[in-house]
Amino acid sequence: MRYLLACLLMFPGLLMAEEEVVLGLSKKHVSITTTFDGSEILIFGAVKRESPVPDTELHVVITVAGPSRPVTVRRKAKWLGLIWVNNAAVEVDLAPSFYAVASTGPMSDVLSATENLRHRISIENAIRSVGAPDNVTDSAAFTKAVIRIRRNADLYQQLEGQVALDQQTLFRTAIKMPANLTEGDYTTRIFLAREGKVISHQETTIEVRKVGLERWLFNMSRQSPALYGLMSLAIAIAAGWGASAAFRLARRD
């Protein structure tokens, strides 16, 4: 008993219960239909604790990541000063199809570089690029190109200061998901941080699936590509014939 009391006095942090995340989502399923034009996910929650709020400032970081796949990035250069040709290519090992990171403040103030790298939180750390061909000396530029292109398409979002935190207990943010989403499971992570260190985190998933006609066409293109091709050809012929017939009728009038 005396030994246990001595340990608690030496390490007062043991007397304090760990802060935990209790989270919620406005929706856990996103359906992609022929009229799908994007969706907004409200992510909210609270910090569960059994002791007084610590004196240090609390920060919340929320990330939403779509399925990760390899990406081949090609760089073009003018050949003989006349035409553009590919002169180098690098395969980025894994890059999320969608990635949003929202935080209560600037990332440099919220997390240390070590914690950021350990949990792969920032957009740059979420992309994995192991190596490049010997003839490419600036492989980092190819990774930056992926980030730039997907940011322009609203697929990569850096939302600093977009997480609202009330009384160091309740938090919320909204993530806008564009229309050009990739189907799959989107991993949602919530991190609590104090003094640049992650003290707790929680994880869940958002399902993004094609439904209805969109799903039927997608499955046919994968499972019966020959039939899908014939159907596409038939539709194109019918559309061409219909347009031609309409044009002839219009000329008669």
Closest to 106 measured CA to CA, from 59, 160, 61: 160
Per the structure block, which two tokens stand in for 214? 């969109």
Res 12: pLDDT? 45
CATH number of 17-210: 2.60.40.1930
Res 8: pLDDT? 41
**What distance in Å separates the CA atoms of residue 63 and residue 99, rounded to the nearest whole number?**
7
**What distance in Å separates the CA atoms of residue 197 and residue 191, rounded to the nearest whole number?**
10
pTM of this prediction?
Answer: 0.74
Given a contact cutoff of 8 angstroms between Cβ atoms, the answer to whether 126 and 120 are in contact is yes
* Phi-psi sector, 151: left (phi>0), alpha (psi -120 to 50), beta: alpha
pLDDT mean by block of 10 residues, the chain; 253 residues:
45 55 86 80 90 88 94 70 63 89 94 94 86 60 87 94 92 92 92 93 89 55 62 70 68 64
